[in-house]
Amino acid sequence: MILCSECKIEFNSNRSLSNHLRGGCKTNRKYEKVCDCGEVLIYRSPKEFQKAIDNDSKCVKCCIKKRHSEDTKLKISNKLKFLYDSGEIIPNMSGAHSEESRKKLSEYRKGKKHSEETKNKIKESIVNSELHKLSTKNPIRNKKISDNKKGKKFSIETRLKMSQNHADISGDKNPSKRPEVKKKLRIKLIERLESNLELYGKKIIPFFNNKACEYFSQLMSENNTFIQHALNGGEYHIKELGYWVDGYDIENNIVYEWDESHHFDIFGNLIERDIKRQMEIEEFLKCKFIRIRESDYIL
């Protein structure tokens, strides 16, 4: 006898229970089944509920504890090997297993590390698969696409479509215009240039103003202090921000900036880029910041 979990009516077969659940049961339509561990499993439809009864389905925790027989493991292994070799699925990528299976595998593999031999096997299977040949991570495929596009010009209609598709990341919405992203890009560029110049025994020397250096030298003699500038130890480099400052009094923590005409707009106001740069430096060094306008000293 089989008992209906909703209305507690007994039936002689699974088929009778299935027909009852499809339209005969008038109680609250929750298709529930109790696992061996006591957890209640809820199903969305009578069909899923009947299938769970027929297969004696367990909860996720019990499924993880369950161990396949050696014969079953061999069948699964052969089936997956066939699918991997045919290129239908790629190991460790979405599509190889269902979401539920990936969760089970994730819990089972926690804390475990692959050997170098296993890592190499996984890498080779991915690189040699058919799906990887069509993947955007394949350098050979990307080079072919790049070579095919060289010299080609898009039509106005195509350019318009591309513009509409990229509207959400264009202009001020472009991620590369965010302050934190710009700082990372600036620092990475400097690091790359420095590593290239080291091969030739050289280093980066930013553009500097001789008049500014003369002014800083005069200021040192008048105030009996030391200011590091381009001709006196080289401009001070703030590596964490990717900036060089024109002059820096390390002892008194004072930054000096020499402003030529291009640092100002047509109304004589300091441009926004320099204002933001000054704020970043002041916040990082906790320093006093002094700006010297070139036109005030040189006619």
Give the tens place of pLDDT for each residue, 24-82.
Answer: 565 545 677 788 788 888 776 777 777 888 888 887 777 666 667 788 888 888 887 78
* pLDDT over threshold 70, residue 94: no
- Segment among 1-5, 13-17, 126-130, 169-173 with least mean pLDDT: 169-173
Q: Which of 68-77, 187-196, 248-257 has the highest mean pLDDT?
A: 248-257
Mean pLDDT for 270-274 is 92
Where does 210-296 sit in CATH, by number? 3.40.960
pLDDT of residue 28: 47
Angle (nearest 5°) at CA 146 between 145 and 151: 115
* pLDDT over threshold 80, residue 1: no
Beta carbons of 15 and 36 less than 8 angstroms apart: no
If pLDDT is split at 50, 70 and 90, which confidence band does 138 have?
A: confident
- Give the residue from 56, 57, 3, 7 showing the smallest Cα distance to 30: 7
pTM of whole model > 0.75?
Answer: no
Q: What does the CA dihedral 223, 226, 229, 235 come to, rounded to 10 degrees? A: -140
Question: In percent, how much of the chain has pLDDT > 70?
Answer: 85
Q: Tokens in use for 122?
A: 């996984």
* pLDDT over threshold 60, residue 253: yes
Of residues 263 and 149, more confidently modeled: 263
Of residues 242 and 82, more confidently modeled: 242
pLDDT of residue 25: 63
Domain coordinates in residue numbering, the chain? 2-64, 67-133, 172-204, 210-296
pLDDT of residue 120: 87
* pLDDT over threshold 80, residue 168: no
Q: Which of left, alpha, beta for 171 (phi over 0: left; psi -120 to 50: alpha)?
A: left
Beta carbons of 244 and 237 less than 8 angstroms apart: yes
In 96-209, which residue ranges form alpha helices assigned H by DSSP?
Answer: 99-109, 116-127, 130-133, 139-149, 156-165, 179-198
If pLDDT is split at 50, 70 and 90, which confidence band does 237 have?
A: very high
Mean pLDDT for 210-215 is 93
Work out the mean pLDDT of the chain and round it to a whole number.
81
Q: Which helix (H) or strand (E) holds 198?
A: helix 179-198
Beta carbons of 246 and 252 less than 8 angstroms apart: no
Of residues 274 and 152, more confidently modeled: 274
Task: Map residue 111 onto helix, strand or coil.
Answer: coil
Residue 223 DSSP symbol: H
For residues 213 and 232, what is the distance between their CA atoms, to the nearest angstrom?
Answer: 8
In the chain, the largest separation of any two C-alpha atoms, in whole Å, equals 107
